[in-house]
């Protein structure tokens, strides 16, 4: 244990600067992605300085159906329309029936025509290069919230819809992935010779910049995901290798993980090209949302594989300014919403709002991928592959049912009927808009203490002698975790993101609430209950416990998030003349 603590201290207080250069990347594609992230990070750091000097930061987006954290809230916002109470079931795009896919497309078109699609795209453009959305640990939590909002916007139009994911590994096996069924009029659309998307449901989607069509430059640079990319993520155990520092500066004590999802996902953006290349225009293209849904799927698989339920809600990389700008810190605002970055790792997303279907699979014994638009390559380890459009390249797959509506002849897909012995799609059900595979098996939807876009704290009445909780705490059936944290493998985790969320935590802990009310206290009073310890937290008196307190004071957090700030930023908020008890009592009065 002592050795672990020393190692942590050495990392967090490293005196010797660690040189960093994107030239250390393993290949040209990742180096390009790295250079872009460094550029965005520099823009973000300049924006932070502007807000410090001039005190502006833009409005916070709150409330509405898209801000809901459970389906009860969502249904109440859209008038309790049929199907709104079921969790979304996110499947691979090619696994949708023709009817389901068309309903998804139709909802996107409605969203585009009523202006809501563009409003959501503007969110990504406005904060794409000047916030915690890219170039650091906030990348995955930010985009999880963003995908959730797009999905709820679509479900407000058609509650039966779920956001599908695009598993681009399926396309990467093809001799030329540009010939995938994915890029045809019936799916994500096809382009003319100049790269303009003019065929399919999204033809003539006017961009935010005023161009009449979306533009794609397929395969000009970058590459699609492959199995190695995904396995590289799953092999990692340290939180800072997944919620990764992708734009570190010299002096960051953590080594750079060039296999991090933010890097490899950027290669897919580069491969699509056109609007998808820079963050300022990428959300113009609907394929953006399918791609990021798959990124979120990979992250969720890692969470389920490597973290306990409790760890999933607390593990966040240390707030180190040389590793990431302060907008990526765990308690920083998740601009442009009224959320904190750490709220993007909460379990309520998958408890309440959506679940993921497994990736398509097959075997030599059962070469059935479950879709007429996928086929099973049974050579070696059997795996599903996207089918090829007519006249596309199919060389290497002769004898397989590789062509959508055709047959592989002379290395190209030609019109005709496949007569081989392999059958990749076997079902006794008709492909209709809704099949039995539309939803997972019915199971009770769990509720959480979050009922809308605002964080709910318990209603309390504090006196010097005791605390009376007038609102029941949420019940957790998961036992208290044994913290197998990747920074320190002890039951008390050394964590630079270890804070209390409430100024009443210390008096609550003194009267035994850590034991009698463990479910609540283990989440909101981690420091006082000794679930973790902060290596920087050795100060007493009126102090700031977080390096960004001064920045957050400039952004109005002393008023907007008084509860957290009174516990952790007492000095910056000018509350040195108040005792801990007074700060706690003031917090209670604000909640009553």
**What does the alpha-carbon distance between residue 192 and residue 436 come to, in Å, rounded to a whole number?**
37
Q: Which residue has the tokens 């199907």?
A: 83
**What does the alpha-carbon distance between residue 399 and residue 264 come to, in Å, rounded to a whole number?**
33
Q: How far is CA 292 from CA 230, 231, 268, 367, 546, in A?
A: 14, 18, 10, 28, 31
- Residue 421 pLDDT: 64
270 contacts 29 by C-beta, under 8 angstroms = yes
352 contacts 87 by C-beta, under 8 angstroms = yes
**What does the alpha-carbon distance between residue 406 and residue 390 come to, in Å, rounded to a whole number?**
7
**What does the alpha-carbon distance between residue 323 and residue 314 come to, in Å, rounded to a whole number?**
19
- Residue 16 pLDDT: 42
Where are the domain boundaries for CATH 1.10.1280.10 in the chain?
2-50+58-166+220-356
Contact residues for 51 (Cβ-Cβ < 8 A; gap 6+): 57, 551, 554, 555
Q: How far is CA 489 from CA 5, 237, 483, in A?
A: 9, 12, 7
- Residue 62 pLDDT: 56
User: What is the CATH code of the structural domain delimited by 2-50+58-166+220-356?
Assistant: 1.10.1280.10
The three state secondary structure string of 416-462 is CCCCCCCCCCCCCCCCCCCCCCCCCCCCCCCCCCCCCCCCCCCCEEE
- Residue 444 pLDDT: 30
Torsion angle in degrees (nearest 10) through CA of 463, 469, 470, 471 = 150
273 contacts 147 by C-beta, under 8 angstroms = no
**What does the alpha-carbon distance between residue 385 and residue 507 come to, in Å, rounded to a whole number?**
59
- What φ, ψ does residue 530 adopt, rounded to 5°? 65, 30
Residue 119 CB: number of other CB atoms within 10 A? 13
The string of DSSP codes covering 371-387 is: STTEEEE-SSS-EEEEP
Determine the 3-state secondary structure of 341 from DSSP.
helix
Percent composition of the chain: helix, strand, coil (DSSP 3-state, to 5): 40, 10, 55
Kind of pairing between the strands at 467-469 and 460-462: antiparallel
- What φ, ψ does residue 120 adopt, rounded to 5°? -65, -40
Q: What angle do CA 114, 116, 120 make, to 5 degrees?
A: 160
Please give the structure tokens belonging to residue 496: 């630079």
Handedness of CA 331, 335, 339, 344 (dihedral sign): negative
Low-confidence ranges of the chain (pLDDT < 50): 1-7, 9-10, 12-17, 52-59, 423-424, 426-494
Q: For 456-490, write each residue's pLDDT tens digit.
A: 333 333 333 333 333 332 333 333 233 333 333 33
- Residue 432 pLDDT: 32
- 551-582 core/surface letters (b: 16 or more CB in 10 A; e: else): bbbbbebbeebbbbbbbbbbbbbebeebeeee
Distinct helix (H) and strand (E) counts, the chain: 19, 12
Question: How would you class 503 by CB atoms within 10 Å of its CB: exposed for 0-12, middle for 13-18, buried for 19 or more?
Answer: buried
Q: Which residue has the tokens 């919403």?
A: 337
Give, for 292, the enclosing helix (H) or strand (E).
helix 287-306
**What does the alpha-carbon distance between residue 452 and residue 225 come to, in Å, rounded to a whole number?**
35
Give, for 355, the enclosing helix (H) or strand (E).
strand 354-356
Within 13 A of 558's CA, how many CA atoms are on the CB side?
A: 14
């Amino acid at each position: 244990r002592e050795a672990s603590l020393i190692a942590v201290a050495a990392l967090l207080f490293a005196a010797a600067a660690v040189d960093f250069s994107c030239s250390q990347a393993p290949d040209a594609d990742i180096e390009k992605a790295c250079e872009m992230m460094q550029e965005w990070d520099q823009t973000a750091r300049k924006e932070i300085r502007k807000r410090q000097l001039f005190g502006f930061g833009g409005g916070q987006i709150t409330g509405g159906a898209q801000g809901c954290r459970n389906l009860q809230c969502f249904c109440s916002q859209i008038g309790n329309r049929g199907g709104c109470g079921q969790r979304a079931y996110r499947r691979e795009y090619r696994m949708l029936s023709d009817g389901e896919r068309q309903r998804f497309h139709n909802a996107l078109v409605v969203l585009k025509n009523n202006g809501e699609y563009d409003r959501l795209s503007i969110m990504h453009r406005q904060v794409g290069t000047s916030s915690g959305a890219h170039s650091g640990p906030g990348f995955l939590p930010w985009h999880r919230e963003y995908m959730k909002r797009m999905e709820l916007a679509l479900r407000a139009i058609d509650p039966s819809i779920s956001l599908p994911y695009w598993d681009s590994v399926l396309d990467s096996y093809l001799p030329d992935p540009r010939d995938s069924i994915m890029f045809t009029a019936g799916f994500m659309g096809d382009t003319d010779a100049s790269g303009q998307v003019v065929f399919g449901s999204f033809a003539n989607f006017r961009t935010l910049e005023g161009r009449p069509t979306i533009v794609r430059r397929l395969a000009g640079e970058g590459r699609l995901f492959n199995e190695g990319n995904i396995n590289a993520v799953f092999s990692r155990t340290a939180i800072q290798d997944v919620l990764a520092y992708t734009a570190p500066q010299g002096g960051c004590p953590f080594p750079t993980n060039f296999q991090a999802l933010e890097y490899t996902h950027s290669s897919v953006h580069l491969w699509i090209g056109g609007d998808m290349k820079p963050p300022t225009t990428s959300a113009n293209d609907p394929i953006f949302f399918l791609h990021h849904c798959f990124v979120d799927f990979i992250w969720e698989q890692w969470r389920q594989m490597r973290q306990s339920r409790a760890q999933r809600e607390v593990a966040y990389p240390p707030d180190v300014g040389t590793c990431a700008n302060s907008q990526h810190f765990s308690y920083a605002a998740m601009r442009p919403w009224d959320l904190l970055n750490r709220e993007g790792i909460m379990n309520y997303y998958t408890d309440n709002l959506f679940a993921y279907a497994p990736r398509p699979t097959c075997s030599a014994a059962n070469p059935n991928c479950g879709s007429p638009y996928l086929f099973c390559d049974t050579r070696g380890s059997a795996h599903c592959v996207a089918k090829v459009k007519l006249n596309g390249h199919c060389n290497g797959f002769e004898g397989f049912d590789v062509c959508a509506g055709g047959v592989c002849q002379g290395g190209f897909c030609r019109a005709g009927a496949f007569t081989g012995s392999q059958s990749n799609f076997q079902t006794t059900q008709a492909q209709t808009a809704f099949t039995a595979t539309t939803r997972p098996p019915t199971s009770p939807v769990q509720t959480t203490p979050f009922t809308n876009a605002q964080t709910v704290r318990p209603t309390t009445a504090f006196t010097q002698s005791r605390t009376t909780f007038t609102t029941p705490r949420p019940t957790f059936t998961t036992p208290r975790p044994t913290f197998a944290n990747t920074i320190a493998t002890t039951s008390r985790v050394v964590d630079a993101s270890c804070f209390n969320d409430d100024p009443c935590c210390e008096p609550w802990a003194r009267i035994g609430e850590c034991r009698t009310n463990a479910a609540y206290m283990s989440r909101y009073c981690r420091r006082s209950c000794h679930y973790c310890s902060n290596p920087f937290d050795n100060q007493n008196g009126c102090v700031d416990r977080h390096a960004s307190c001064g920045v957050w004071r400039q952004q109005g957090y002393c008023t907007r998030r008084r509860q957290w700030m009174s516990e952790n930023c007492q000095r910056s908020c000018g509350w040195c003349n108040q005792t801990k008890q007074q700060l706690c009592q003031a917090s209670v009065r604000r909640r009553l």
